[in-house]
Amino acid sequence: MKVDVGADGICRRPHTLAIHASASTIVTTSPATSVAPAAPTGAGSDAAGVLPSQSLREAISSGWLVAGPWRIPDQSVQPASVDLRLAEHAWALRCSFLPDSDSTVEQKIEDLAFERIDLRDGATLERDRPYLVPLIEELRLPPGIRAKANPKSSTGRLDVFTRVLTDRNHRFDEIAGGYHGKLYLEIVPRTFAIRVKTGLALNQVRLMSGDARLHDDALIALHERSPLLYIDGHPLGESELSLADGLFLSLDVSGTAQSIVGYRAKKNSLPIDLAKIGALRWRDYWEPVHPERGGRIVLEPEVFYLLLSAEGVSIPPAYAAEMLAYDPTAGELRTHYAGFFDPGFGYSRGQRSVGSRAALEVRARDVSFMVEHRQPVCKLAFERMAEEPDVLYGEDIGSNYQGQLTMLSKHFVEQRREHPVRG
């Protein structure tokens, strides 16, 4: 869903197209405290995988995630992640950065921050300016439990580039096992100015142990038991799957000249208040995108687009998925922003499922770029959960994007009746 600095923090400047959807290296951690928190049930070394909601609640109770004088509310716990909230101030920076193995984040910003902004009553963050915000939540991880952060889906759909920094760690979003320390969020509004305030959640963190990644043979077997991808309401056959240690998704840019297959962002719009849901008219911020004859669209350079995957995605309860970078030799495509799919996304228990399509945030670099219907653009990598979560994405937690037919974020007034997106 962003852009040619990938989720791994490495600049890959001459990419033609950046695609972002609604993603371990060894890093150095800050010193651990003398008393290790107790381990939640099911989170030991024999339970490799992403920790589910019930284990995350136990982790909070055990002090793996703390919030100082605040409390971590129940609604912050998702099926496989915990929301991270903005604290009381932000620093405006002259440039982005990463700490090294000998420095903390706040040591680095001494020479880079030029303004401190109070967020308690809300503040507007300008386009294309990097900001750094301490997060309310901090981590006290035991050895063997690492963490990974991702933007929330609504964050990516507004072209807000975010990534988490930690002390003495030269990687964005990757947090090594045993880390004890603060979390900071870099925020760069790319297309729209945004209004934020203390307590707002733009990112989420998940905890995991071991290597739970599914390789191709396991993906095929899982797809046979519980289909992962659908087209036009039917599961893809094994021969239709495109695999490379993950499943590839393609674009839907088909339909008549009147069909809406995506949205092109308008620049110089008014700021978007991220705390207000369903309050904005989409036409004040977006232009509809219609397909050309033959099922294709041409992306203008440096313009932000929202598109949908052709496939419906279904994530079974015992699994999670994340978007990975697409091989640049097959079209110069990149994925980042909101790249995490909770257990239960697009999944229906006890009834026929057709999946939910993925919202894709797209930007062409340097030159105009044509994309065609069913062109592969991104890859989903699947991981096992340590155990099945006790709540799933969707009706269990009132998720905003289950069964989505539009790719606009929750901040905009419903528009499907006026301009139906091709389903």
Tokens 């939910």 appear where?
A: 356
C-beta neighbour count of 141 within 10 angstroms: 23
CB 90 within 8 A of CB 117: yes
**Which of 146-155, 216-225, 271-280, 349-358 shows the lowest per-residue confidence on average (mean pLDDT)?**
349-358
Residue 75 phi, psi (nearest 5)? -70, -10
Confidence of residue 341 (pLDDT cuts 50, 70, 90): very high
pTM, 2 dp? 0.86
Res 1: pLDDT: 35
d(CA 12, CA 5): 6
Confidence of residue 379 (pLDDT cuts 50, 70, 90): confident
Please give the DSSP secondary-structure letter assigned to residue 60.
Answer: H
The region, left, alpha or beta by phi > 0 then psi within -120 to 50, assigned to residue 301 is: beta
Confidence of residue 367 (pLDDT cuts 50, 70, 90): confident
Token readout for 231 is 């087209």
> Given a cut of 60, is residue 343 above it in pLDDT?
yes
CB 266 within 8 A of CB 399: no
d(CA 305, CA 303): 7
Residue 175 phi, psi (nearest 5)? -125, 120
In the predicted model, what is the mean pLDDT of the chain? 84
Confidence of residue 96 (pLDDT cuts 50, 70, 90): very high
Res 419: pLDDT: 41
Q: Which residues contact 193 (CB under 8 A, 6 or more apart)?
A: 124, 125, 126, 127, 270, 271, 272
Average pLDDT of the residues in 210-228: 94
Res 45: pLDDT: 42
Res 24: pLDDT: 28
d(CA 15, CA 10): 12
Q: To the nearest whole percent, how much of the chain has pLDDT over 90?
A: 67
> Given a cut of 70, is residue 400 above it in pLDDT?
no
Res 83: pLDDT: 97
d(CA 209, CA 187): 28
